[in-house]
Amino acid sequence: SSGINAEYGDSPFLVNMYLLVGLVVIFLLYHVIDNTQKWLYARKYRHIPGPPPVSFLLGHGPILAKAKRNNAFLEQFVTWVEDYGETFKFCFKTRPVIFTVNADGLKQIF
């Protein structure tokens, strides 16, 4: 007999372990590539001021969730406008979001 069964025997445990290890490696590679792409995308906007994110994966999500629970969602944005100016960046999960209250800036975009 030839192949994997001749070398390692007919152990379904070993075959399952190889499958599991292969799936874990594929999963990890996918996430490394995905997070690298998100990081490179977010780098384009690093020149725009904004609060530092709480987490690489969650961005400002925990801050916004806490503000929503305390009925201070709008106040959080008012605080950020006072701290960082009319146009600033925050992250929703791993995506940068550009926020502005500048009407002229909005006219240029639309």
Per-residue pLDDT band for 14 (boundaries 50, 70, 90) equals confident
For residue range 45-87, list pLDDT tens digits in order.
Answer: 888 899 988 887 788 989 999 999 999 999 999 999 999 999 9
CA–CA separation, 79 and 72 (whole Å): 10
What does the DSSP assignment read for 10-58?
S-HHHHHHHHHHHHHHHHHHHHHHHHHHHHHHHHTTTTS--PPPSBTTT
What global pTM score does this model have? 0.61
